[in-house]
């Protein structure tokens, strides 16, 4: 890929002259402009935002560089990038996104990002996790979205999983359910511990012992098969009354699997068993019948808050918890 330096070398002019040809062509004489444009066409050079910053050149917009770990390639977290872009544009900023498939990003990926001369960096992930941020990126304003830095003093915007689980279970128990069954995320996920705290708080308030609640932690290998097998084990013989009246699912996909199985067994939702999800997954949550009550993972708000943090140049290098609202539908 041709660079601005290649254009300058072929045209026999300075970097400043190439910058003027791109940004303020009226300041060059006709012959020089023609020479530079011919070099651009010959090399197939595509001017970028970074080219506008070379040697005194400028862009009217600032640039946010985004490392997207799974957030651009999965439907579940696409709203995070959508809100980043919308917030940036509303404030006259631009955004440059690089998909990454490992953490920390490779040196080549980091070099590509830095070549665009971003004014700030956002690192985003689909699932809540701890990430390692290379020191070279710490020299720029830095924000994390849906992840937490392995080093201190980094602004992080994450979902308040604990309070979201607490609020949802509390509201379900207030409707009279007393015998919950939990099919949880894998225990190694960061969200597992946070949601256990929320569950415990809600149970204590309802005077239900955590030890009396049946729980199953999925592995990371067979979400579908394990969910079905646990439901079979809990339901026992066909046509017997279920020993649980509320199914608390670690995410909406688990809830979808449970719906298929429970309805196939002739059970009614919520008359026989109420179901609670988590995520309010784009393209999934609205397909349930009856509509699924769940908890919203605030991808859009996390993205908006992270972008706003950079744009407003906030000095708040700590973890910010974003509320996870309960989405009440008809499954409880």
Give the separation between CA 331 and CA 218, rounded to whole angstroms.
22
- Tell whether the model's pLDDT for residue 50 goes beyond 60: no
Domain range for 234: 161-295
Instruction: State the average pLDDT over residues 42-57.
Output: 59
Enter the pTM of the model: 0.81
More confident of the two residues 210 and 76:
210
Tell me: do 304 and 318 sit in the same domain. yes
DSSP result, 164-190: HHHHHHHHHHHTT---EEEEEPPTTSH
Is the domain of 127 the same as that of 68? yes
Predicted pLDDT at 43: 86
Q: What is the pLDDT of residue 60?
A: 56
- pLDDT band for position 143 (cuts 50, 70, 90): very high
Residue 28 clears pLDDT 80, i.e. is over it: yes
Is a pLDDT exceeding 50 seen at residue 270? yes
- On whether both 131 and 167 belong to a single domain, the answer is no
Give the CATH number for residue 118.
Answer: 3.40.50.2300
Mark whether 187 and 272 lie in a shared domain: yes
Q: Are residues 155 and 194 in the same domain?
A: no
**Could you read off the pLDDT of 239-266 as tens digits, one per residue?**
678 999 999 999 999 999 999 999 999 9
Interatomic CA distance for residues 303 and 286, integer angstroms: 22
CB 155 within 8 A of CB 309: yes
DSSP 8-state symbol, 36: H
Whether residue 329 lies inside any domain: the answer is no
Helix %, strand %, coil % of the chain (to 5): 45, 20, 35
- Beta-sheet pairing, 326-327 with 294-295: antiparallel
Round to whole Å and give the CA distance between 184 and 186: 6
* 186 and 260 fall within a common domain: yes
pLDDT number for residue 268: 95
Could you say which DSSP state residue 189 is in? S
Residue 330 lies in a domain: no
pLDDT at res. 47:
61
285 and 310 part of one domain: no
Pick the last residue of a domain from 39, 56, 73. Answer: 56
Residues 128 and 204 in one domain: no
Would you tell me how many other CB atoms lie within 10 Å of the CB of residue 105?
A: 22
- In a domain? residue 285: yes
Stretch among 21-25, 51-55, 196-200, 316-320 having the lowest mean pLDDT: 51-55
Best CA proximity match to 311, nearest among 155, 114, 196: 155
On the question of pLDDT at 58 being above 60, the answer is no
- pLDDT band per the 50, 70, 90 thresholds, residue 55: very low
**What's the token pair of residue 35?**
């020479």
Provide the number of structural domains found in the chain. Answer: 3
**H/E stretch holding 199:** helix 190-205
pLDDT at 200 over 70: yes
pLDDT at 277: 97
Query: What one-character-per-residue DSSP string does 202-250 give?
Result: HHHHTT--GGGSEEEE--SS-HHHHHHHHHHHHH-STTSPPS-SEEEES
- List the CATH number of the domain containing 21: 1.10.260.40
């Amino acid at each position: 890929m041709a660079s601005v330096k290649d254009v300058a070398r072929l045209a026999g002019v300075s970097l400043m002259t190439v910058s003027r040809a791109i940004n303020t062509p009226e300041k060059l004489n006709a012959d020089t402009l023609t020479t530079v444009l011919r070099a651009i066409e010959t090399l197939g050079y595509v001017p970028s935002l970074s080219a506008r910053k070379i040697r005194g050149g400028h862009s009217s917009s600032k640039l946010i560089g985004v490392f997207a770990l799974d957030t651009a390639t999965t439907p579940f977290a696409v709203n995070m990038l959508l809100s980043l872009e919308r917030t940036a544009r509303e404030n006259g900023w631009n955004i440059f996104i690089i998909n990454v498939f490992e953490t920390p990003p490779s040196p080549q990926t980091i070099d590509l990002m830095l070549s665009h001369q971003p004014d700030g960096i956002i690192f985003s992930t689909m699932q809540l996790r701890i990430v390692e941020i290379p020191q070279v990126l710490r020299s720029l304003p830095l924000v994390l979205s849906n992840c937490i830095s392995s080093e201190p003093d980094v602004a992080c915007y994450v979902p308040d999983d604990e309070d979201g689980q607490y609020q949802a279970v509390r509201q379900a128990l207030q409707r009279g359910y007393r015998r919950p069954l939990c099919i949880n995320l894998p225990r190694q996920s960061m969200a597992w511990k946070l949601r256990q705290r929320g569950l415990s708080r809600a149970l204590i308030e309802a005077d239900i012992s955590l030890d009396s609640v049946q729980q199953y932690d999925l592995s990371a290998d067979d979400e579908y098969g394990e969910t079905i097998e646990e439901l079979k084990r809990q339901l026992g013989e066909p046509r017997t009354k279920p020993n649980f009246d509320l199914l608390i699912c670690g995410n909406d996909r688990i809830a979808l699997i449970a719906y298929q199985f429970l309805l196939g067994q002739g059970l009614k939702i919520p008359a026989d068993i109420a179901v609670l999800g988590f995520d309010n997954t784009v393209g999934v949550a609205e397909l349930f019948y009856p509509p699924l009550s769940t908890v919203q993972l605030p991808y859009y708000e996390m993205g908006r808050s992270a972008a706003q943090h950079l744009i407003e140049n906030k000095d708040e290098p700590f973890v910010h918890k974003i509320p996870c609202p309960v989405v009440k539908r008809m499954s409880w």
